[in-house]
Amino acid sequence: MRPFINQDTAAKIYKALIEPYIFNYCSIVWDGQHLSNKFKKLQNRTARIVTKSGYDTSAGPILDMLGWDRVSVS
């Protein structure tokens, strides 16, 4: 659906459908670094999709631009 919606709408969809699971629901059952890495990769990929950035683009500046909290990996 990404080609048919603007960046703001895509970011709102992320905030409503994906972020709650990462930060609110799944954080309770994270068992160390394994799941944290998967969620970090999911967030980075989602940020690239939302901004229509290439796969090789660094996710850090994109997350900063979007103002998203980062998944921390312990």
Residues 74, 39, 72, 60, Cα dihedral to 10°: 130
pLDDT value, residue 29: 64
Q: What pLDDT is attached to residue 71?
A: 76
Burial zone of 8 (CB within 10 Å; 0-12 exposed, 13-18 middle, 19+ buried)? exposed
Confidence (pLDDT) at 18: 83
Specify the pTM. 0.78
pLDDT attached to residue 28: 61
Q: How many domains does the chain have?
A: 1
Q: Which domain holds residue 58?
A: 2-66
Is the residue at 71 inside a domain? no
pLDDT tens-digit series, residues 14-69: 889 888 877 766 666 665 556 778 888 888 999 999 999 999 999 999 999 999 98
Q: What pLDDT is stored for residue 70 in this prediction?
A: 84
Please, what is the Cα angle at 34 between 52 and 14, to 5 degrees?
30
Q: Flag whether 72 is in a domain.
A: no
